[in-house]
Amino acid sequence: MIEFKNVGLVYPNGTEGLKNINVKINDGEFVVIVGLSGAGKSTFIRSINRLVTPTSGSLLVDSEDILTYKGKNLRKLRTKVGMIFQNYNLVKRTNVFKNVLAGRLGHTGTLRSIFNLYSKEDKALAYGNLNRVNIAEKLYNRADELSGGQQQRVSIARVLTQKPKYILADEPVASLDPPTSHQVMTYLRKINKEDNITTIVNLHFIDMAMEYADRIIGMRAGEVVFDGPVSEVTEKTFEEIYGRSIREDDLRGGAQE
């Protein structure tokens, strides 16, 4: 369980990224965060694995306050909380298999990982996860030889190889075309249900949020302005979150029928 208690974050330049956030995310949920650009979605998500550090309040992951974590504790938290990025963040000159095995870094000693001494189980795990996202045939291709959608699938395999309890995804489909976006979201959703991994995704497409989320959190100017199950959400809700009427470009389109 993840629990934000009066969490606030002020960036060094004075910008308030988060303002008094109180949110509880239960195990196994698929939560989508929506909000306009600059609303604080990335700041929210990146607080959970401490890529940014909130400046007030407390943030509990499995009932431990992670805001005090340093060094080893922090790395342990990060092995438990996997992350997927908008730009896939693969090492472009390295092959797919090694990119996926990098998901084991947090579980592997420094020397073992430097000399590529991964156990048979780790390799089998990595290969199995590539299979799960249907990209195993690209095993020895360099990451930069893959399309955007394929790279994002590799990054999903990488995060799975980490065996996380939580997955954070910061705009995972913002650089993809509509059909590929749906494919990636379908994988994320499937993994969430099959492995019971709590998943938090930032999206700015309303239709996608409605299609994949169990629960939607709306943010505006660093504050949570809506939080509820997807069944309670209407177009009106989005208009309130966005503070304006819904437009064509708030929709991804191309939903799979």
Ligand X SMILES: Nc1ncnc2c1ncn2[C@@H]1O[C@H](COP(=O)(O)OP(=O)(O)OP(=O)(O)O)[C@@H](O)[C@H]1O
Tokens standing for residue 143: 């990451």
The yes or no reply on residue 218 touching another protein (CB under 8 A) is no
Nearer to Mg ion, 26 or 87 (CB): 87
The yes or no reply on residue 17 touching ligand X (CB under 6 A) is yes
> Phi first, then psi: what are they for 163, rounded to 5°?
50, 60
For the segment 23-62, give every residue that binds ligand X (CB under 6 A): 35, 37-43
Nearer to Mg ion, 42 or 192 (CB): 42
CB of 94 to ligand X, least distance (A): 27
Nearer to another protein, 85 or 226 (CB): 85
Beta strands in 163-250 (DSSP E): 166-170, 198-202, 215-220, 223-229
Buried b (16+ CB within 10 A) or exposed e, 2-16: bbbeebbbeeeeeeb
Distances (CA, A) of 179 to 75, 101, 182: 35, 28, 5
Residue selected from 11, 76, 186, 254 as contacting ligand X according to rule CB under 6 A? 11
**CA atoms of 6 and 90, how far apart (whole Å):** 34
Binding partner selected for residue 224 from ligand X, Mg ion, another protein, none, CB under the kind-specific 5 to 8 Å limit: none
Measured over the CA atoms of residue 132, residue 134, residue 137 and residue 139, the dihedral's sign is negative
Span from 8-16, 59-67, 159-167, 224-232 in contact with ligand X (CB under 6 A): 8-16
Nearer to another protein, 21 or 154 (CB): 154
Span from 31-39, 102-110, 174-182, 218-226 in contact with another protein (CB under 8 A): 102-110
Nearer to Mg ion, 42 or 162 (CB): 42
Paired residues of 169 in beta bridges = 84, 201
